[in-house]
Amino acid sequence: MTPLLDPLAWLILLPLLWATLAFLAADRHGPMLALAGIGGQLLCVIALAGDVASHGSIGHLAGGWAEPLGIRLVADGLSLVMLLLTQGVALTLALYARSYFSQATPPAFWPLTGFLLAGMNALFLSGDLFNLYVTLELVGLAAVGLVAAGGGAAQIAAALRYLLATLVGSGAYLFGVALIYGSYGTVSASLLGSLITSEAPLAVWLAGGLMLTGLLLKTALLPFHFWLPPAHGGAPAPVSALLSALVVKASFYLFLRLWLGPFAALSEALPALAQVPAALGATAILWGSWRAIRADRLKMLVAYSTVAQLGYLFLIFPLLGTGALALQAGILQATAHGLAKAAMFVAAGTLIKVGGSDRVLGVAGAAAHLPVSLFAFALAGVTLMGLPPSGGFLAKWLLIDAALAAGQPWIVVVALSGGLLAGIYVFRVLRLAFRRPTTHDDVPLPQRPAALLEWTAFALAAGSVLIGLGAAPLLALIAGVQP
Amino acid sequence: MSAGLIYAATGCLLFVLGLGGVLLLKALLRRILAFNLMGSGAFLVLVGLAQRDGTPDPVPQAMVLTGIVVAVAATALALTLARRWHALTGREDIARVGDAGSRARRMANDRRKVGR
């Protein structure tokens, strides 16, 4: 394929291009540019899917420059799944945001979304540690901008706290990269794997610890979750959905990549290390669910549910040695949760916008006037609880299978109790929604929202359930990944 | 001890000082400065460790240039947000809103903040 038509490069160039145009057009044509741009990106991913399915892994040297000066882009099954999830969710959210912000778009919402997508796509495609640092910062800065887009004091405080957390995280990551370059003279992820296996000085252990901890801070795994609920719960609904569904997955993806690739030798030398993320993940599931059960604002409930669901992603680390099962479980959970959490935030946004109250109690009576949004919320809840046939069910099934195969029954207990706790906070909302509102009958019913607001949420939620039925090609893609 | 190692050791020290500053200081401006110190430390390590055998290596120099651009962008964003925060609330720290406080206070604040 000629370099100019390579979908790998266009996946990064397209969002940069439309984001810049949207910035220059001062948001007038933002929605159209975004929809056209993300549509194009989705086509690029589909074009890429065929190549990856037949070749396993494909690369591209940006501008034809050789390494180490040039930048090498790589795509394999793992990055393809994340790219597909990102463009799919972003396209639906762009449709939602267009109608959600029909009166007034927060300043720079569309350009920032474009830059965020460019950073995420570049992150999924980068093959060297330094370039990954730059993409991490791009994603972080754009996400902080989006959190602040609301403009209120609460949002600014949440954005500042998020910014400081994300800067500390990427600072630690950069320090690790410096130590690694100092030790080996390269930052190529594929070369480092064998280099670290043959010799790992103390500096590399320090680098590994710093980089992985920095990424945990950015993924908001307990005890680093403090910044997430105010940032995700306080932002406008489309932003919350983008952040909770996609952005935290980006740093998780990088954590997983580093764990499987360059730092595989470290976890082999000290197998007990893998229990650390799993133990933190288990605590996150219990603590996040508990906070979601106790939350009194609807979006905080959904945000704490993210803290809990992120925990599942880290349960897979002690099980990775048992074959492809654990990796499939983790990526399927990331995909199903991405779709479900976007649906949940978007449905919650509609419930709050129409109902006029951001409290959990405010959903009372929603079953009567917002049936589609509520159904979307419930369907997304089905995935979070892990009921069949949803994607969440299949992910938990694979996880439990892998845990039994590896002889780690405690993971089974945590996974199942996490599902029960999710049931409690989802049914807490549903039970209220079917209640009669406390107001009197002479209060006029709230206006019906635009159909697009309700049906985008429904499409995302339905996707999170259907992925459980059609997961076979996705699982085959992940099984073919060579770390 | 070669010159490169001295740079790297200084870089480590700066990084730790900066990290401590971001985590422990209260005033936003100081925390932003501390973040810059952290970044400078990492850059010194990157350039210092890579020239152990005496000849400078161009690749980390290019990386540090990129890193400086990123750090400038991050600092600009942080300063803009800090100014906006100051304009809205008249305060110069976000410590009471959360991250230096006890967990219980933080939770109470989560609830209060989103409500505002």
Using an 8 Å CB-CB cutoff, list chain A residues near B77: 141, 144-145, 163
Residue in chain B nearest A143 by alpha carbon:
B77
Residue in chain A nearest B33 by alpha carbon:
A164
Q: CB of A375 within 8 Å of any CB in chain B? A: no
Task: State the pLDDT confidence band at B115, using cuts at 50, 70 and 90.
Answer: very low
Q: CB of B88 within 8 Å of any CB in chain A? A: yes
Using an 8 Å CB-CB cutoff, list chain A residues near B87: none
Count of domains forming chain A: 1
- Domain assignment of residue A236, yes or no: no
Using an 8 Å CB-CB cutoff, list chain A residues near B15: 171, 175
Using an 8 Å CB-CB cutoff, list chain B residues near A164: 22, 31, 35, 78, 99
Instruction: Tell me whether residues B114 and A230 touch, CB distance under 8 A.
Output: yes
Q: CB of B73 within 8 Å of any CB in chain A? A: yes
Closest CA to A95 of A384, A435, A452: A452
Q: CB of B84 within 8 Å of any CB in chain A? A: yes
* A408: three-class secondary structure by DSSP: coil
What is the distance, to the nearest Å, from the Cα of residue A453 to the centroid of all Cα atoms in its chain? 21
Q: What percent of chain A shows pLDDT beyond 70?
A: 97
> Which sign, positive or negative, has the C-alpha torsion A138, A171, B29, B101?
positive
Using an 8 Å CB-CB cutoff, list chain A residues near B81: 144, 148, 156, 159-160, 163
Report whether A463 contacts A100 (CB < 8 A): no
Q: CB of B45 within 8 Å of any CB in chain A? A: yes
Q: Read off the pLDDT of each residue in B31-40 and give the average, rounded to a whole number.
A: 95
- Read off the tokens for B112: 């209060």
Gap between the Cα atoms of B16 and A114, Å rounded: 35
Please give the pLDDT value at position A27: 62
For the ranges A140-144, A199-203, B22-26, the lowest mean pLDDT is seen at A199-203
- Domain assignment of residue A3, yes or no: no
Residue A200 distance to chain B (closest CA, Å): 16
Please give the pLDDT value at position B98: 43
Gap between the Cα atoms of B70 and B74, Å rounded: 6
Instruction: Tell me whether residues A141 and B74 touch, CB distance under 8 A.
Output: yes
Task: State the pLDDT confidence band at B2, using cuts at 50, 70 and 90.
Answer: confident
Q: Read off the pLDDT of each residue in B80-93 and give the average, rounded to a whole number.
A: 92
* A118: three-class secondary structure by DSSP: helix
Please give the pLDDT value at position A443: 56
Report whether A284 contacts A303 (CB < 8 A): no
Higher pLDDT, A451 or A86: A86
Please give the pLDDT value at position A396: 94
Query: What is the CATH topology of the domain spanning B3-115?
Result: Helix Hairpins (1.10.287)
Higher pLDDT, A115 or A51: A115
What is the distance, to the nearest Å, from the Cα of residue A4 to the centroid of all Cα atoms in its chain? 30
Using an 8 Å CB-CB cutoff, list chain B residues near A158: 113
Expressed as residue numbers, the domain containing A387 is: 279-483
Indicate the angle between helix axes A153-184 and A129-148, nearest 10 degrees: 180
Gap between the Cα atoms of A51 and A58, Å rounded: 7
Residue A137 distance to chain B (closest CA, Å): 7
Over 60: is that where the pLDDT of A153 sits?
yes
Task: State the pLDDT confidence band at B99, using cuts at 50, 70 and 90.
Answer: very low
Over 50: is that where the pLDDT of B103 sits?
no
Indicate the residue type of A37: G
- Read off the tokens for A356: 């006029």
Using an 8 Å CB-CB cutoff, list chain B residues near A206: none
Q: What is the mean pLDDT of chain A?
A: 91
Q: CB of A167 within 8 Å of any CB in chain B? A: yes
| Count of A-B CB contacts under 8 Å | 136
- Which string of DSSP letters, residue by residue, matches A417-441? HHHHHHHHHHHHHHHHHTSPPSS-T
Q: CB of A141 within 8 Å of any CB in chain B? A: yes
Q: Read off the pLDDT of each residue in A101-124 and give the average, rounded to a whole number.
A: 92
Interval A275-296: pLDDT, tens:
999 999 999 999 999 999 999 8
Q: CB of A204 within 8 Å of any CB in chain B? A: no
Instruction: Tell me whether residues B39 and A179 touch, CB distance under 8 A.
Output: no
- Read off the tokens for A278: 């799993």
Q: CB of A46 within 8 Å of any CB in chain B? A: no
Using an 8 Å CB-CB cutoff, list chain A residues near B86: none
Please give the pLDDT value at position A221: 93
Please give the pLDDT value at position B3: 78
Gap between the Cα atoms of A97 and A74, Å rounded: 31
Over 50: is that where the pLDDT of B102 sits?
no
Query: Which residues, in sequence order, are CB contacts of A391 under 8 Å at separation 6+?
Result: A332, A335, A336, A339, A340, A383, A464, A465, A466, A467, A468, A471
Interval A330-379: pLDDT, tens:
999 999 999 999 999 999 999 998 888 889 888 888 888 889 999 999 99
Using an 8 Å CB-CB cutoff, list chain B residues near A227: 99
pTM of the model: 0.92
A 342-361: CB under 8 A from B: 358
